[in-house]
Amino acid sequence: MHPDEIGRSYDALASSFQEQMRDSTYGVAAFERAFQFVEHRGHALDVGCGSSARLIDLLVAKGFEIEGIDVSEKMIELVREQRPGISFHHADICTWPLPRKYDFIAAWDSIWHLSLAEQEPVMRKLCAGLNNGGVFLFTTAGLDEPTEKSDSNMGVPVHYGVLGIPRLLALLSELNCIVRHLEYDQYPEKHLVVILQKN
């Protein structure tokens, strides 16, 4: 699926996600763990920021200057209404030029929706977008082999692409990034949390 199609699928989910996730603590423990490795609290980027603003608020509370990006126009519309003082971009992370380097980048349950072919270029882009010592928190599927699939388990069609753990770790090493934390946080589900730091 093209990122624009993913955006349209999430447009249909934006309002319900806003309500469901507003008071959720899902992912917060991983963010708190990632913050332990942060050296500087300057600019932060939330990739796939969604519509609820809950993780944006967490980053603001930690002293970051925030930007959010989402491929869903409706998600961006809703989050802008809630947090008008924050810079939000309706854009595709595959083609959006990062305007600066960041001390913290988050991509919680977002970049795994990219195709397998887009995974490595986007990972290279985001790692290059970190300041030295910057931290990148993201989720992927903890599989051994490169894989992609599409399904409608959320009620709308979405796509998933993952590099697989061996290729992911090799790529991160090549990009001069150190993995600080790797966790199956919902075991036996294959939901994998990765925290890395730019060396």
pLDDT value, residue 20: 81
How many C-beta atoms lie closer than 10 Å to residue 145's C-beta?
A: 10
Instruction: Tell me the CA distances in angstroms from 150 to 38, 154, 156, 174, 199, one per residue in order.
Output: 35, 11, 10, 29, 35
* Separation CA 65–CA 76 (nearest Å): 18
* Separation CA 137–CA 30 (nearest Å): 8
What the block records as the tokens of 156 is 């709308």
Instruction: Please enumerate in sequence order all residues whose Cβ is within 8 A of that of 172, keeping only pairs 6 or more positions apart, or say none.
Output: 123, 127, 178, 179, 196
Mean pLDDT across the stretch 49-70? 95
- Give bridge partners of residue 141 from the DSSP assignment: 191
Q: Enter the CATH code of domain 3-198.
A: 3.40.50.150
Instruction: Tell me the CA distances in angstroms from 37 to 24, 137, 180, one per residue in order.
Output: 24, 11, 8
Confidence of residue 23 (pLDDT cuts 50, 70, 90): confident
The answer to whether residues 77 and 17 touch, using CB atoms and an 8 Å cutoff, is: no
* 87-130 tens-digit pLDDT: 999 999 999 999 999 999 999 999 999 999 999 999 999 999 99
Length of the chain in residues, anyone? 199
